[in-house]
Amino acid sequence: MPSKRNVWLYTLAVITAIWLPAAPADDREQARDTGTKVLRFLAREDARFEQALAIRQQGRIAEAYDLLANLLRDYPADEKVNFAFGVLAMERGRTSLGSLAFERVLTMNPDNDRARLELARAYYLTGQWEQSRLHFNRVLERDPPDTVRTTIGEYIRGIKRNQPGWKAHTQTEVGAIYDSNINFGPKREIIGIDPITIGGIRFDELQIDPSTRSQSAWGGFASANLRAFHDTGAVDGWSFECNLRAYGNFMIDATEYNISGIQLGGGPRYRRNKHAFRAPLRLEYIHRDDKALATMTGFHPLHMYRYTHQCTFTTRIGIEHRNFAGGSDRDGFMGAIHEQITLLFGNRQKHRTDFGLRLGREFAEAAIYRNTLVEGNLRLTSQITPHTSVFGEATARYRQYEDREPLAPRTRRDIQWGVASGINRQLTARFHTNLRVQYTENESTFNLYDYARYTATWSLNHAY
């Protein structure tokens, strides 16, 4: 008959293999997956445990947490109550309180490997890499099951990636594209103009050259991105990152619309508590049909504030100078500010809403190109399986130009709207594929710029 110690170790191994979250994906979300199991396993005769379990199953996590906090005041030296409280504290994102609870458990029972695993994970989330490694290694010394050993190994590899030094990530993408109106050709054959008189005849309409009507095209595209950053090893504080990106599309029977470019960027970044800040400088060279088109230099700071785990505010500012090849009346500066709100909701936050508002101003040399922009967008994303998500988005844009173009009946104003939808599928840990379809329509006070456009893209992405 096996000894009581071996039975206890076997039971702990099974529980650990089931409960230890996969590393190091979204740990807080995985903590939520384990919460019900933990509470059920630790159910005491005190009815408040059952009540906390029922409340949590209803998604009322904050109430369940408060109930366990009250229970902890009544049982401050109870190992099981401390552990259950620590799990719910982690689930709510209160990692420091969870750490304290697990430390109390280990003070009472240094052999509680489950609490030691949770404490190691809490240290991981707060960037205390050596403490995290120490406790993970303590569990490994007790010869856990292979599944647990594998998961701990993933955490330890994550610790190595997050320790001080230069890190690099690459991302590549290849795909196919269909564009129903690659040249933004006008919808009408006859456009209205500012009346002109030629030979005593008054004209207030002109016929569009057939060669400028909408042209459809198939093709492919590819991009490669290299991102390097210096990690100080601390969760908070300053670091530096740089980025190199190359891209291009290749259209069949429409090579004059082949666009390619190289983008270089880099700058400091800062993180503190719920705030993150980046301030990159950017230089971009753009070619069209193998000829230089434009050079763009800019400053693009970003600030992100996580109000709660479910709500994030992101502010982007762009200040850019555009210099077209050979000199152009379109040369000049552009400035924009973009505010975005991201909300996570639903069971396990599988659904996401992004709402954005952008204001911009283009200061071109010629008044006919100077314009003011107002844009709003809404995007909904839903994870329908662990590896598949679908999305839909809508965009509305208003652009007011400063001066009237030659032949235009009045100063130009454009109203543009678009809708898009798609699906994203994670194929492996490093590969995913994406399918997207989009419709865009532009209405202008100058009919030359009225157009409709359908696009469809498929891509395969690899990240390393």
Residues in the chain: 464
Q: Please check whether residue 221 is in contact with residue 177, taking contact to mean a CB–CB distance below 8 angstroms.
A: yes
Distance from C-alpha of 380 to C-alpha of 58, rounded to nearest angstrom: 24
- What are the tokens at 392? 């839909």
Q: Please check whether residue 195 is in contact with residue 203, taking contact to mean a CB–CB distance below 8 angstroms.
A: yes
- What are the tokens at 94? 């209160």
Q: Could you tell me if residue 267 is left (phi over 0), alpha (psi between -120 and 50 degrees) or otherwise beta?
A: left
Domain with CATH 1.25.40.10 in the chain: 4-163
Distance from C-alpha of 276 to C-alpha of 269, rounded to nearest angstrom: 7
Domain with CATH 2.40.160.60 in the chain: 166-463
pLDDT of residue 46: 66
Q: Please check whether residue 191 is in contact with residue 461, taking contact to mean a CB–CB distance below 8 angstroms.
A: no
pLDDT of residue 25: 45
Distance from C-alpha of 319 to C-alpha of 400, rounded to nearest angstrom: 19
CATH superfamily for 4-163 is Tetratricopeptide repeat domain (1.25.40.10)
Count CB atoms within 10 A of the CB of residue 268.
14
Q: Is 119 helix (H, G, I), strand (E, B) or coil?
A: helix
Q: Please check whether residue 305 is in contact with residue 275, taking contact to mean a CB–CB distance below 8 angstroms.
A: yes
pTM over 0.95: no
Q: Please check whether residue 401 is in contact with residue 420, taking contact to mean a CB–CB distance below 8 angstroms.
A: no
Distance from C-alpha of 464 to C-alpha of 424, rounded to nearest angstrom: 18
Burial class (CB in 10 A: 0-12, 13-18, 19+), 136: buried
- What are the tokens at 233? 């090893």
Q: Average pLDDT by consecutive 10-residue portion of the chain (464 residues)?
A: 38 41 46 44 59 76 82 81 85 87 89 90 86 87 81 83 77 97 90 82 83 91 92 72 95 92 94 90 94 94 92 96 88 96 83 96 94 97 92 97 91 96 91 97 94 97 90
Q: Please check whether residue 329 is in contact with residue 315, taking contact to mean a CB–CB distance below 8 angstroms.
A: no
Burial class (CB in 10 A: 0-12, 13-18, 19+), 413: middle
Say which DSSP state 214 is in.
-
Each residue of 149-207: pLDDT tens digit?
A: 888 888 888 887 777 677 788 999 999 999 999 999 998 888 888 888 787 788 888 88
pLDDT of residue 234: 60
Class of domain 166-463: mainly beta
In whole angstroms, how large is the CA radius of gyration of the chain? 29
